[in-house]
Structure 1
Amino acid sequence: MTLQITPEQITVPVASSIPAPLRPVRTLVTLGDSTCVGLGDPVPGGGWRGFSVLLRDALGAAELVNPSFTGARMADVRHRQLEPALAARPDVAVVFVGMNDTLRSDFDPGGLRADCASVVAALRATGAHVVLLRYHDHTRVFRLPAPLRRALQRRILALNGATGAVAAEDPAGVGVLDLDLLPGGYERDAWAVDRLHPSELGHRMLASALTELIAAAGFAVPHPVSLDCAGGREVTAVHRVAWLVLKGVPWLVRRGRDFGPVIVQSLVNEMVRRQAPVPDRT
């Protein structure tokens, strides 16, 4: 007997058009330096808010763990901030650090990469999605003498190379926010009076860009970040002058002492290159 199958009896599986449900962010961790602390986004009554708080609110996270502190370097994140971050078992972790390393005389790209890799590996082992930063050219924001500008630009490139290499090892679990491509990131309004930290608007721009990366990784963003400034403290001309006298000049003096040898080495290298004989290509 021959089994007859009519076309009506043939069932073709149909791929489900229902998208996978977005994962909620219950715990957010932010690790890093003064930008992660919130400097540049003051709130009435004192203190700082910053992108960490804005991001927490956008994601609807029940808990924000932010052990960051001013002046932190990549090694500080590894040795002083990572432990409380791991204990929180975050769903998402943002690592915002590295610029302070570029301003020190002991800058070490190899050490940066090793510390960053250790931090990312530990966070990923808990199941966290990690976001790293690719830094902008800060000499376009904070004007510097030419030798210092060139030295800092080279160091930022080296920093980005180190973190980029770490991210490339786990592209599905590590996102990278490129600050050089952040719309409006070089505009004056995006920066606080010190030109070192984002303003309220700058912090809002950071939080908004981070939510886009995190959403692309499959997480829910129930409350998108508004770029309308509200809730911060107004920065007046008096604040600007006070910062310049009390904070700006002392900071330049401290960094000049630490970064001075780098400037000298940069000048020497340029002189050597200029005096080197041009190879005969005939």
Structure 2
Amino acid sequence: MTLTLPDAALAELTALVRSGDLIVLSGAGISTESGIPDYRGPSGAFQRNHTPMTYQAFTRDPAARRRYWARSFLGWRMISAAAPNDGHRAVARLESCGLVRRVITQNVDGLHQAGGAQDVVELHGSLDRVICLDCGELSDRIELDDRLRAANPGFGGPVDEATVNPDGDVDLPEEQLDGFAVVDCIGCGGVLKPDVVFFGENVPKERVADCTATIERAGGLLVLGSSLTVYSGRRFVVQAAKAGIPVGIVNQGPTRGDDHASVRVDAPLGPTLTALAAAAAP
């Protein structure tokens, strides 16, 4: 897919990027072209009345925890197989040219790193890691997947892409979840959780502080594929605007940060960022 941006929009975006010391704040919209749906887009999870897992339900309700792991066991197939798209590669190119200093992503899919970006802060964690809520031990998701396969032979089947959510959770009827066996921490027998920030859970304070310090030193902030509905990301747009740091937003559909943007483009991420990288990168 090719895209021709209006000259004025491309010029404004290019000027913002060329100013240097740019921080990218990305959301689920940058990964939709890799086959991972977002929450609030036209075909997103919230359009299907999907209710994401909350931290409170996961930690307090064994049935909810079993339901999550059964669905995530299937959703992980799609998330782990997803490949970076032109948008991820364009961001990496801008970083390699020294124009983007850091990427702060709200995504948990690891596609920025797979696309070549080096300095990436995963604001909401990553699905490829698992943490024990009792002893704090981190482990690899692949290891857990092997254990879940062994504990649930024959469970599941082909996954419809339309049922997979950005957090790797798959919409499945309750009757398909019967008998799914959850496994515990090998070291202490504690409760395992994906190393991601669930709805209702706070982003670790030290991670927020790190990102806040990054924005303080930024020459500009470029928001990519985020509606900025969730405060964990929107706070950085508000911070930048208050500090007089220029904010650019590229997203399909309106965002809650539009009033703070000095340049706003409503267009597909992949072709837009490809055009931007071609215009801005030396």
TM-score range, shorter chain: 0.3 to 0.5
Q: Which has the higher contact order (CA 8 A, sep 6+)?
A: 2
Whose radius of gyration is greater, 1 or 2?
Answer: 1
